[in-house]
Homo-oligomer: A and B are copies of this chain.
Amino acid sequence: MNGGLELTVGDDARRVEKTVGPSEGRAAKSARAPITPLIVEEKPICRHAIADLVSEVALTAPPSFASSLSEALKVAGARAPDLLLVDLFSVSFDFDGLRRLILASRAPAVAIDDRPNPSFAGLARMAGAQGYASKNYELDTFRAVIRAVIEGGAHFPRETSAARQRRTDVSGPSLGLSPRQMDVLKCIAVGMSNQQIATSLGITLGTVKLHIHAILRLTGTRNRTEAALIAGRFLAPTIED
């Protein structure tokens, strides 16, 4: 694949937390057997690129593809992949679906995000992913994430872990929202319906509505659309920091 020169002004500064654990992940099989990746991604052009990246960092068998998590579950059963690369928004973000795919296939997963801000990194981690990469990451970062996961480690944006552990977060400019409320807000901010949010987060429709009610009160907005617009401006700076 051709190299090409980059004329961009790189904003990089993607600070990441890399946690390479002792090689024990399933994919870390003595480092030389070919890996069978399963790529869950609906856009053909991105499938192509992801497959290419994986083949750059490891010896791979021809990858399997799926356009949705449900399709991926079937494929995983048939092909027993060693490594998952999952677009978080193929169809829509689906927390439970992602978790089930990871559990069922018992392979380490790289969560791939269409959006520039790693708002969903925490959820991806909670769903069992071993790594997170936004499509806005530089290719080197992308490769580093894949490599780390293949080697049995983990690779997430810096603030992903800490924020979840303790809700006594004095630091975060969190608008006074609880972690769960933030999860819901992030979903609102990508245009998901209440039912989709409920499915994604594994809670009831009624509970979603309650969280949204609280969010509207706390953010001083009158409906989800206003909240989404606020969140767009609010989440963006928060994440980039």
Contacts and interface: CB of A to CB of B under 8 A. Distances in A.
What 5 A-B pairs are tightest by C-beta distance, nearest first?
A191-B226, A49-B49, A1-B70, A43-B135, A4-B62
* Total copies of this chain within the assembly: 2
Nearest to A196: B5
Interface stretch (A52-60, A155-163, A169-177): A52-60
A236 B1 CA distance: 31
A221 to B, nearest CB: 7
A183 interface: no
Given A65-B8, A223-B193, A44 B142 contact: yes
Contacts of A195: 4
A236 to B, nearest CB: 11
A102 to B, nearest CB: 14
A67 to B, nearest CB: 6
Interface in A174-193: 188-191, 193
A188 B228 CA distance: 12
Interface in A81-119: 91-92, 94, 97, 116
Interface in A34-71: 42-46, 48-53, 55, 60, 62-71
A138 B9 CA distance: 30
Given A7-B66, A51-B2, A229-B228, A136 B42 contact: yes
Nearest to A60: B2
A238 to B, nearest CB: 16
B7 A64 contact: yes
